[in-house]
Structure 1
Amino acid sequence: MFNKYKHISMKKISTILILSLFSFSAFAQIPKLPQLTSYGFRLGLTASPTIGWVKPEQGKSDGIALGFSYGLMGDFNFAPNYSFSTALTITTMNGKSTEVDPTYIKSLDLAANKSIPVAYDLKYKVQYLELPLTIKLKTVKDNGRRYYGQFGLSNSFLLSAKQDAVSSTAQLDNVKISDYTKFYRAGLIIGGGGEFDISANTSFVAGLTFNNGFTNITTDKNRDVRNHYLALNFGVFF
């Protein structure tokens, strides 16, 4: 009796093993669908020349000035065509303006008449640590290329601030104005560009972003100054 049941059990086990092997073999022969994207985290390096300008309420913009941004960038892919994108960069935001009686600058201008308003041609040289929080909307990859649009919030934390000032009575260079510049700056980011595969795990990124500052950067209660920039973005994801 025991041998009879043992023989039946062995036949069942053998049948299950044979069917499993056939199933696995058939599944292995099914062609794989093309992969639309790689989910997960991607890290890369970025470098961006910038064109900056300032807009004072109590004065006027007086031209653009070049700057530079560099650091790390990262994409968190949470859907085939969507990514949460951030970075950690050192960014210089420069710009030129003409303003009347900026408090700290005029206090250093010993030849100025304190009772008469004085117009100063200023050049802002402000450096921030930037931590943007944005969303990327991407096209489906085609022949190693895909394109994206980007939108989100710029968070900038002051590292240093200097200013050149010229008036009819003074010429001041690299005046430190960190104590008169707010620590935090917020802005709105909008941009777009493309990613181009170099190898299986490496891609080159190129794009353009507009960073529109919407907070006052000066601590002077009598002044309101906002800075903005365009960046030509280059980077490599690894």
Structure 2
Amino acid sequence: MKLQHLYLTPTTMIKKILLSLFLLVSASPLFAQNAPIMDYGFRLGLTAHPTFGWIKAENGKGNGTSLGFSYGLLADFNFAENYSLATGITVTTINGKSTEINPRLYAQNANTTAATAYDLKYKLQYLELPLTVKLKTNKIGDLRWYGQFGLSNDFNIGARQDAESGGKGIVTNQNIKSSTRFYRAGLILGGGGEFDVDTHTSITAGLTYNNGFTNIVKDGDRSVKNHYIALNFGIFF
């Protein structure tokens, strides 16, 4: 099978993800009917929160954190009283700054072969589909604490970059989608609390560390990875 047959456009990928979530939600009552244990329910929610991203470059260094944003849907499939499969679908921006030596995108247009430092700002946007396990404590009044662990699956839907060298601007907000990879994977570690507002509604807040472990650029052997910390806010219905 040729590799190009395996490639999915972002639009096709979004449709497949939404269809999968719809089928999973639709099938959950059937699973509950056949389950030998109590059905602990399915919850759907909304989230909107900031992200603080940074870059780790193999041939360079990161330059602090940059603010981004994430918003979308949350979903908890509660398969036991204190355990959930937590997923969702969000649009997540991961920004970050770095100083890198001779990135091919810019060095190939330079008039010198000498090692040159470029200050770069990555502005990447992903369709994020997390797959995690959420472990919850028993309720303490209307509050329960949780810990979360799992995999982040991110699909590139936008990539732009600012670049300068020697204090001189080279590009601003340039589209670099063709120079970045479509898929990003990351490790999710997080925790927080959920507060019940009423019988069916709860507010959630917490902290998540998303450690990217796949290369985000297409530039020969050059390796660049991005990571972020999120201050999570959401509401479940």
Shared fold per TM-score greater than 0.5: yes
4+ runs of 1 displaced by more than 4 Å? none
Question: What SS does structure 2 have at the residue aligned with 1:104?
Answer: helix
Q: Distance in 2 between matches of 1:170 and 1:114?
A: 17
Partner of residue 140, structure 2: 142
- Is it true that 1:156 corresponds to 2:157 in the alignment? no
Q: Which amino acid aligns with 1:124?
A: Y
2:65 maps to what in 1?
64
The letter of the residue matching 1:118 is T
Which of 122, 139, 148 aligns to 1:124? It is 122
The TM-score, its normalising length taken from structure 2, stands at 0.81
Aligned residue in 2 for 1:79: 80
Counterpart code for 1:174: N
- The structural deviation recorded for 1:38 is 7.3
- How far does residue 235 in structure 1 lie from its aligned partner after superposition? 0.1
What's the RMSD between the two structures over aligned residues? Answer: 1.4
- Structure 1: give runs of 5+ residues left out of the alignment: 1-36
Partner deviation per Cα, 1:45-73 (whole Å, 9 max, x = no partner):
01120110010001111111000000000
SS at match of 1:45: strand
Residue in structure 2 matched with residue 237 of structure 1 by the alignment: 236
| Secondary structure of the corresponding residue to residue 112 of structure 2 | coil
Does residue 94 in structure 1 map to residue 92 in structure 2? no
Amino acid at match of 2:146: Y
Question: What is the CA–CA distance in structure 1 between the aligned matches of 2:106 and 2:93, rounded to whole Å?
Answer: 21
- Provide the TM-score with structure 1 as the length reference: 0.81
Percent of residue pairs identical? 62
Structure 2, unmatched stretches of 5+, are 1-37
3-state SS of 1:216 partner: coil
Structure 1 match to 2:25? none
Once the two structures are TM-superposed, the CA of residue 83 in structure 1 deviates from its matched residue by: 0.2
Q: Secondary structure at the match of 1:132?
A: strand
Q: Distance in 1 between matches of 2:83 and 2:208?
A: 18
